[in-house]
């Protein structure tokens, strides 16, 4: 794997680690570079026919529920250059976080998410303590020139309370990282097509007699 570490990226990783310790989450605008972001957006347009409705739950418990979520997804893999570049950046981040925080992050999985105009994802947690191996959530936005009136914000909540602690516009280049079992969040409806990459760093834990359950 080609190294992408620079003094700038090391500084970014330092800030991420510090924020996770102090606050449990961070919003960044200096993650993967603009060329990768643009290539990833173009990739979503190439894959428009391949997106599939996202379900609620995992494995045998997964089902469609349009009252909870209405996005379409497509999982990333190493077969495309832009996807591989993003996965490489996240692998470097995984190693950096493990060096700094000893979190034992084992691997990373992620998918493109497309929200058509009006689509939403109701408030939810990505993980429940002691019941999943997803420990760190990432969301990366791909939408150039997103306007405030387009809506589609990500709302992040504290563990208790009804008022969001963050409202994140899905502007290209914005990276959100948070502890998966601590922050309920939701996606508000937008007036334009909204693209992002949702991902999870996982630990290699045994759950329900299964080691490292698949996505």
Q: What is the pLDDT of residues 87-124, one digit of tens each?
A: 999 999 999 999 999 999 999 999 999 999 999 999 99
d(CA 70, CA 53): 7
Please give the model's pTM, rounded to 2 decimal places: 0.89
Query: Is residue 121 within 8 Å of residue 166, measured between CB atoms?
Result: no
Structural element, H or E, at residue 7? helix 7-22
What average pLDDT does range 137-162 have in this prediction? 96
pLDDT recorded at residue 156:
98
Residue 148: pLDDT over 60: yes
pLDDT of 212:
46
Mean pLDDT of 135-142: 98
Task: Enter the CATH code of domain 7-54+66-204.
Answer: 2.60.120.620
Q: E-assigned strands of the chain?
A: 25-28, 52-53, 72-75, 105-115, 121-124, 134-141, 154-156, 166-168, 175-179, 185-187, 194-203, 206-207, 210-211
60-86: per-residue pLDDT in tens? 445 567 788 999 999 999 999 999 999
130: pLDDT strictly greater than 80: no
Q: Mean pLDDT throughout 131-137?
A: 85
Q: Report which DSSP code applies to 45.
A: H
pLDDT of residue 178: 98
Question: What pLDDT, on the 0 to 100 scale, is given for residue 215?
Answer: 43
Query: What's the pLDDT score for residue 9?
Result: 86
pLDDT bin (cut points 50, 70, 90) of residue 2 is very low
* Under 8 Å between Cβ of 77 and 179: no
Q: pLDDT for 7-53, tens place per residue?
A: 778 999 999 999 999 999 999 999 999 999 999 999 999 999 999 99
Give Rg (Cα) of the chain.
Answer: 16
The domain ranges of the chain are 7-54+66-204
Mind giving me the DSSP string for 59-119?
A: GGG-B--TTTB--EEEE--TTSHHHHHHHHHHHHHHHHHHHHH---EEEEEEEEEEE-TT-
pLDDT at 143 over 70: yes
Give the pLDDT confidence score for residue 85 in this predicted structure: 96
Q: How far is 170 from 44, CA to CA, in rounded Å?
A: 15
How many Cα atoms are found within 13 Å in the side-chain-facing hemisphere of 102?
0
Token pair for 137 = 């959530």
Q: How far apart (Å, rounded) are the C-alpha atoms in residues 114 and 155?
A: 17
Interval 149-158 mean pLDDT = 97
210-211/72-75 β-pairing: unpaired
Residue 5's pLDDT is 54
């Amino acid at each position: 794997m080609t190294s992408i570490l620079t003094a700038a990226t090391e500084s970014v990783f330092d800030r991420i680690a510090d924020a996770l310790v102090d606050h449990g989450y961070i919003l960044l605008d200096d993650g993967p570079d603009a060329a990768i972001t643009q290539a990833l957006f173009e990739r979503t347009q190439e894959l428009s026919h391949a997106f599939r409705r996202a379900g609620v739950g995992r494995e045998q418990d997964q089902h469609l529920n349009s009252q909870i979520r209405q996005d379409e997804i497509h999982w990333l893999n190493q077969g495309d250059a832009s996807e591989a570049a993003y996965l490489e950046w996240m692998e470097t981040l995984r190693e950096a976080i493990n060096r700094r925080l000893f979190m034992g992050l084992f691997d990373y999985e992620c998918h493109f998410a497309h929200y058509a105009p009006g689509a939403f994802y109701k408030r939810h947690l990505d993980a429940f303590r002691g019941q999943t191996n997803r420990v760190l959530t990432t969301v990366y936005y791909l939408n150039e020139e997103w306007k405030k009136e387009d809506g589609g914000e990500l709302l992040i909540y504290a563990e208790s309370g009804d008022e969001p602690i963050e409202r994140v516009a899905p502007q290209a280049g914005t990276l959100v990282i948070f502890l998966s079992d601590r922050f309920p969040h939701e996606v508000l409806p937008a007036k334009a097509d909204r693209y992002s990459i949702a991902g999870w760093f996982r630990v290699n834990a045994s759950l329900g007699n299964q080691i490292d359950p698949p996505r």
